[in-house]
Structure 1
């Protein structure tokens, strides 16, 4: 019996690793950038409950799985296990179904089984992932947390004979353009462990009070790892303002954060700006609205020229421009044949995936999940059809070449198209700056004035609101 159990555990471990590799590949293909802050805070051993915000459906769990170096048991919404594309990977990952009250009905044992399985995993030193908001939603806010994470932590500690045996770890995810292929990016911030022993001891005879106290502390901790805004558009404007701020930091003689600290500094900066914005909106709403309009106008001017804010600081000297143009044209020319083949051979699955996802009519937070799931099915199917056509029309040699090149050509096509896009944007900027000699200076002046307005507004905010020593230092 023990041998059978050992074989089963090994097979489960292999299945988990295979799914994790596939998940890592899908995320690498879909996301332009994934930043992780605080990975060192994940304990190397012992029971861990990871409690994260939930904005992007199944993709949220995928991101945690590839971020955490240990095997993660996901507590997932029960209907997902019946999904024809999502369900099988969840089973292979050893995920545990969670039933909402409407689904559990009058049978409390259904979720009691979930708690028992999760506690057993924690007792064995495993890692549990839970989304305490209870549902996914697209807006960058933290919904009121349910008490499941706190109950799980208390239940595991009781089962293990004392407080402090399980680590409760808050995780925040901040997304940019989460549903768009090769435009999406995310910052994952892992906070410090949440202390629960003091709350457990203080409410030893009143476990419900302990649950509420731990949930309140967890709410504060997750909130400290994210940037809350009224909608994704506001986050996009905040990103424009952030880039302008840092690009004006050097001329002001202020040091930029070191490369390894940039993501953490950016998160803290955005949080302070949002706190200041909420403070000022209640007192000077007209100035906050005016600043928002200025950011929109500045962003519109950049979009019209076709450049990003950081490109304004580049020296547009004739020699550098010619070198840039020559280097990129050579690279694009050399990659053109294989990139064209990659684009042609992947056009049908790319188009079909997009059409099917549109017809599914799902909510925006499910868009990335749907694209990955549908693409995972239709890309191989259409590759097989294309391979069959190549074999029928050109023979075995051509089929072998098709098989060898199908994946590399697709990857090169992605890189080639992105580089072409950057080159076109820069070429457009060169054109604008050559035909309108004062444009570069006007955009720089506009950026400087925008940052100056932010500094003036920051001076009107008490330091305790900003969480900074100087009211003018919104960093």
Structure 2
């Protein structure tokens, strides 16, 4: 068996380079963890990830896997996206993507993936990495769908074909993709590659044909557990919102946390919330046994209930348009007035600075806005909103290339200079515009803070103080989190860097001097809150609860 893998087509290199560039513009920060877990080129591998952002998920994976580990990732996509005269169809086909037929796309039930499965098995046998999304479909709902058994059956099939090859091994690489706000411009993404599960004919005879389907389900359950451990999965957006608020109260604004640490802290609160809701459901149905009721003690129940109580607090913050940090650190009216003047002046200065480049961005913004608006009208939330980022990326790329080509055409005598100056000017104007929006967002929040009745702020402070005590008790005594998050995560990040503990701290600054000197960083904007996007208000509601 050749252990070199398939040759990489030139179109794949082009697409990878192009969309790596586009993704870095659309998303503010893409943090990749666990690249050391990716099997090297020539070792058969199936990359399995959660699927919440349509084609964007595949592009993120292609851009996140270092070329020194794998220079080709064989993608799969639904067959209905092939054979169309669209840029998306060309993109998918040019990357060597394999078409999979789905039952939901063929009402008569006549599907045949025999040839596709043969192609995937042969790709694995020659040492390729194949990308599959075992949920079977892209979804907008916040919970990971039950995984299909296709990946486990492919593992069984390839092991059965190689049963006489004692050296053959195939790995399943679980991957978790977490979008802070999947379709919003300049939000952040976390990609986590977990330790691979490796199988061989000698070590896993239970997966050789004829195989017991129980073993297939066990492998699928292991994959589901691994993927879920690295991302946020909840039965409702309300729980996600409450978990993020609890994480902000536990580790307040300004805590130097990596994106990976932040997601893991939110997930721990989210799991506690899910546990509390599950127990409430048992109680309402009267179906919990005495053992189950005893397992969840009254003390634990009280700790978890504080997360539910945070919902009313978040609703109050949303109503007044302020962040928890404004309640945690109250300001005097004199300080508010001073900061209002500074923020407004700074936002206008930065906006003026970015205005020439924003003129070039305007056609791109208008094109993507119209394209997304028309696309949303084609179906309900659950069937369209998971593809919004894909439409923004594709239409943004096409319109951006048109703007670039048009600028060179207009300045034809100096087109070589324009080819470099225009992208640079557009990038720096975007950077400055981000800071302008951030400053104006702070100005708006300070204005609302100034107009808030004094008595209301006192009530919010009392509510937060009570929540802070209860959430800290839950975090430290139940979830096992450190009792001094500001100190712990800052030291962790400084000591670990991009290691297992510190992870990757892109987009963050440590210390006042670094904050000042890196304010105009060319690479990325500094961020204090991983929930920031390029909009004038804070995003805390993620989708209508009744749309599914």
The alpha-carbon distance between structure 1 residues 123 and 311, as it changes in their structure 2 partners (threshold 3 A), is farther
| Pairwise CA distance, 1:136 | 1.0
What is aligned with 2:427? 411
Do the aligned partners of residues 215 and 123 (structure 1) sit closer, same or farther apart at CA in structure 2, a change above 3 Å counting? Answer: same
2:193 maps to 1:190 = yes
Partner of 1:471: 478
Q: CA separation of 1:9/1:315 partners in 2, compared to 1, >3 Å: closer, same or farther?
A: same
Query: 1:104 touches 1:111 (CA, 8 Å); kept in 2?
Result: no
2:121 corresponds to 1:119: yes
Distance, in Å, in 1 between the alignment partners of 2:476 and 2:199 is 30
Verify the 8 A CA contact 2:230 2:264 in the aligned structure 1: no
Whose relative contact order is higher, 1 or 2, with alpha carbons under 8 Å and at least 6 apart?
2
SS at match of 1:132: coil
* 1:243 aligned residue: 248
With 81-90 and 123-132 compared, the bigger mean Cα shift is at 81-90
Deviation of 1:272 after TM superposition, in Å, equals 3.2
Q: 1:287–1:82: structure 2 CA closer, same or farther, 3 Å change rule?
A: farther
Q: 65, 68, 78: which is aligned to 2:65?
A: 68
Superposed CA offset, 1:174-205 (max 9, x none) = 333212222x4333222222355699424656
| Alpha-carbon spacing, 1:448–1:44, altered in 2? closer, same or farther (3 Å) | farther
Partners of 1:300 and 1:244 in 2: how far apart?
Answer: 15
Indicate conservation of the 8 Å contact 1:16/1:92, yes or no: yes
Q: Select which of 218, 234, 252 maps to 1:213.
A: 218
Change (3 A) 1:147 1:104: farther
The answer to whether the 8 A contact 2:244-2:266 is kept is no
Q: CA offset at residue 304 of structure 1?
A: 5.5
Structure-2 residue corresponding to 1:24: 20
Whether the aligned pair in 1 keeps the contact of 2:348 and 2:436 (CA below 8 Å) is yes
Residue aligning to 1:262: 261
Matched, 1:177 2:181: yes
* 1:149 match: 151
Counterpart for residue 465 of structure 1: none
**Aligned equivalents of 1:89 and 1:387: distance in 2?**
25
1:373 corresponds in structure 2 to: 394
Determine which of 96, 99, 108 is the counterpart of 1:97. Answer: 99
Q: Distance in 2 between the 1:404 and 1:474 partners?
A: 48
Structure 2: runs of 5+ lacking an equivalent? 285-300, 483-548
- Per-residue deviation at 1:54? 1.0
CA 1:81–1:319 in structure 2 vs 1: closer, same or farther (change >3 Å)?
same
Number of equivalenced pairs = 443
Show CA shifts across 1:282-319 (max 9, x none): 36789899857743443344446654335666696989
- Displacement after TM superposition at 1:55 (Å): 0.9
- In structure 2, do the counterparts of structure 1 residues 213 and 290 end up closer, same or farther at CA, with 3 Å as the change threshold? closer
Measured at CA, do residues 31 and 310 of structure 1 come closer, stay the same or move farther in structure 2, by a change above 3 Å?
A: farther
CA distance in 2, matches of 1:269, 1:321: 39
- 1:51 partner SS: strand
| Coordinate RMSD, CA, aligned | 4.1
CA distance in 2, matches of 1:351, 1:329: 27
Q: Distance in 2 between matches of 1:294 and 1:270?
A: 13
Aligned twin of 1:463: none
Pick aligned residue for 1:350 from 340, 344, 365: 365
Query: Which string of whole-angstrom CA distances, capped at 9 and with x for unpartnered residues, describes residues 377-414 of structure 1?
Result: 233335555666xx4xxx75697776554322322232
Gap change, CA 1:412 and 1:232, over 3 Å in 2: farther
- Name 2:546's counterpart in structure 1: none
Deviations, residues 47-104 of structure 1 (Å, cap 9, x unaligned): 1111111111101111111122222111211122234122222233222111224659
Residue 338 of structure 1, CA deviation: 5.0
Match of 2:467 in 1: 450
The more displaced of 414-423 and 445-454 is 445-454
Measured in 2, the distance between the counterparts of 1:417 and 1:408 equals 14
Partner SS, residue 167 of structure 1:
strand
Find the residue that maps to 1:86 and give its secondary structure: helix
Query: If the length of structure 2 is used for normalisation, what is the TM-score?
Result: 0.68
Deviation at 1:355, TM superposition (A): 0.9
TM-fit CA distance, 1:168: 0.7
Q: 1:307 to 1:39 in 2, by over 3 A?
A: farther
TM-score (norm 1): 0.78
Structure 2 match to 1:78 = 79
CA distance in 1, matches of 2:110, 2:257: 54
Q: Distance in 1 between matches of 2:281 and 2:107?
A: 43
In 1, the alpha carbon distance for the partners of 2:212 and 2:466 equals 53
